[in-house]
């Protein structure tokens, strides 16, 4: 009899030890999952930062192209980007200046498909002055990263 109760006691002791170890391992597994989640978040952040840093020269080049394409007698009042499209608002001395701007935008390797959205007379700036709104697509040349300013 004594030997059976000793064996039962011994087995209960082993079971308690195993239960304790299982709880410790469960905690470690939870910590590992938490660390993996944090790791994945950090990797996602790093990708976003790398993408932003990679686009920095492109943005500078795009703004440079927008400045270089402005003909005399035209000035921008607003620039907005949405995905691969730049919306431009501005004032021009005449409709011919707006046409010239659109031709210059089309001639740029970085811009494409200039589309005039609205033109309206603005006599505050001169007799033929117009307020215009246009949009132009962004087209990155294949050698965009290597191209110097």
**9-24 pLDDT, tens per residue?**
999 999 999 999 999 9
**Rounded to the nearest 5 degrees, what angle is found at the Cα of 55, between the Cα atoms of 89 and 76?**
15
Mean pLDDT of the residues in the chain: 85
CB 90 within 8 A of CB 136: no
Residue 68 CB contacts under 8 Å (≥ 6 apart), including other chains = 108
> Domain residues of the chain, as ranges?
1-149
Block residue for tokens 């009042």: 77
Which pLDDT score is estimated for 147?
Answer: 45
Tell me the CATH architecture of domain 1-149: 2-Layer Sandwich (3.30)
According to DSSP, the residues that pair with 120 across neighbouring strands are: 131
| 85 or 146: which leads in pLDDT | 85
The mean-pLDDT minimum among 46-55, 71-80, 88-97, 100-109 falls in: 46-55
> What is the distance, to the nearest Å, from the Cα of residue 148 to the centroid of all Cα atoms in its chain?
22
pTM: 0.57
Share of the chain above pLDDT 70, in %: 92
Checking if the pLDDT of 125 tops 90, the result is: no
Percent of the chain at pLDDT > 90 equals 33
Is the model's pLDDT at 74 over the cut of 50? Answer: yes
């Amino acid at each position: 009899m004594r030997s059976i109760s000793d064996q039962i006691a011994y087995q209960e002791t082993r079971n308690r030890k195993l239960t304790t170890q299982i709880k410790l391992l469960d905690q470690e597994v939870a910590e590992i999952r938490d660390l993996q989640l944090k790791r994945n978040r950090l990797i996602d952040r790093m990708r976003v930062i790398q993408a932003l840093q990679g686009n920095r020269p492109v943005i500078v080049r795009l703004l440079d192209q927008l400045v270089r394409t402005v003909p005399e007698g035209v000035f921008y009042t607003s620039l907005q980007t949405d995905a691969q499209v730049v919306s431009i608002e501005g004032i021009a001395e005449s409709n011919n200046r707006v046409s010239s701007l659109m031709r210059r935008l089309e001639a740029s390797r970085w811009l494409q498909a200039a589309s005039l959205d609205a033109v309206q007379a603005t006599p505050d700036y001169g007799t033929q002055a117009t307020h215009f709104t246009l949009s132009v697509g962004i087209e990155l040349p294949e050698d965009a990263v290597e191209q110097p300013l």
